[in-house]
Amino acid sequence: MSLQVQVDASLKAYNSFGVEVRASRLAEARTDSDVREALQYSVEQKLPLLVIGGGSNVLLTGDVRALVLRMASRGIRILVDDGERTVVEAEAGEVWHAFVLWTLEQGMSGLENLSLIPGTVGAAPMQNIGAYGVEVKDVFEGLTALDRQTGELREFTLAECAFGYRDSLFKQQPGRWLILRVRFALSRIERLHLEYGPVRQRLSEQGIEQPTAKDVSRAISSIRGEKLPDPAMLGNAGSFFKNPLVSAVHAAQLKRAHPELIGYPQADGQVKLAAGWLIEAAGWKGFREADAGVHRLQSLVLVNYGSATGLQLLALAKRIQADIQQRFAVQLEMEPNVY
């Protein structure tokens, strides 16, 4: 077997919260063969298989009795390029932001609004990651996944992925599909999405009146860099809670009681509320108990100041959820996967 397996391995370096837990087994998959060997090994050892990418969307609450497989495959290929439309395929282990920058350097636009999002390419469709008016589904062309039940490869189209707000078929069927590579439909003709005020404001501050896709990427990276702490310096998993969807009636009631409430009407008639506003309005911004806390600049971000355990961070998240439910009758949903 070519797969290298570590026994009783620390996962501190493989989760962006920097939580110290250990895995029964740890391996890296650089090829499809590695993935198949890992599946076989987990069966032989009677261990569950837990697949991670950059570890930026997980909260580990204790030692993991499993084979933890870290996707480390690399490779980017241009499959279609007619001078206007391009299709680019990237392996699951590619670092997301580095991939975004690569596409921009190649003169392709479409991913610029998703700059500086942590994680890997393979994890992006799982959550249907999104920012500043763009989601993965908007530029998605297809992906290749391994069915862990049958061992067969399957190609997925946009419709088959069942993308929703921070949701997908792959999240709805945890443990079934292992994403190997993803394809994106990009363009050499720039069609920029500048609907969000902060992006236009940052470009204006920089004196940029006719921005390029690279300008938008740099502006968004600048905004995110100011709002979100670097996991290498302060353990976190980015936005911890989804922006909740409520009925228009409920949103109107909240707006009357809280005129400053931030909400975005949706096409289906619901209203997406800013979870960060709710948490800050409830007084949690900057809260700290031992080494588990809420970031002082961005109330959507839970942070590990050093030695917080996953259970301590989870307990804090649940306290925030209960408080928001009591104050606003709104249920906050966690974004990270909890193990």
Q: Which of 154, 187, 220 is at the close of a domain?
A: 187
Closest residue by Cα to residue 300 from 140, 200, 166, 125: 166
Same domain, 83 and 147: yes
CATH at residue 165: 3.30.465.10
Catalytic hit among 91, 112, 135, 335: 335
How far, CA to CA in Å, does 146 sit from each of 39, 43, 153, 186? Answer: 10, 16, 5, 25
Confidence bin at 210 (pLDDT 50/70/90): very high
Confidence bin at 273 (pLDDT 50/70/90): very high
Same domain, 178 and 127: yes
Give dist(CA 107, CA 101) in Å, integer.
10
Residue 166 designated active-site: yes
pLDDT tens per residue across span 177-199: 999 999 999 999 999 999 888 89
Q: Are 144 and 153 in contact (CB under 8 A)?
A: yes
Q: Are 120 and 129 in contact (CB under 8 A)?
A: no
pLDDT tens per residue across span 81-99: 999 999 999 999 999 999 9
pLDDT tens per residue across span 100-114: 999 999 999 999 999
Give dist(CA 45, CA 39) in Å, integer.
10
Q: Is the pLDDT of residue 1 over 80?
A: no
Residue 335 designated active-site: yes
pLDDT tens per residue across span 129-143: 999 999 999 999 999
Helices within the chain (DSSP H only) = 32-44, 96-105, 124-127, 169-172, 197-205, 213-227, 248-257, 275-281, 310-328
Percent of the chain residues past pLDDT 90, beyond the cut: 93
Same domain, 155 and 109: yes
Catalytic hit among 70, 166, 183, 218: 166
pLDDT tens per residue across span 13-66: 999 999 999 999 999 999 999 999 999 999 999 999 999 998 999 999 999 999
The total of structural domains in the chain comes to 3
Same domain, 181 and 82: yes
Mean pLDDT of 293-321: 97
Same domain, 250 and 287: yes
Q: Which phi and psi (to 5°) does residue 7 adopt?
A: -105, 140
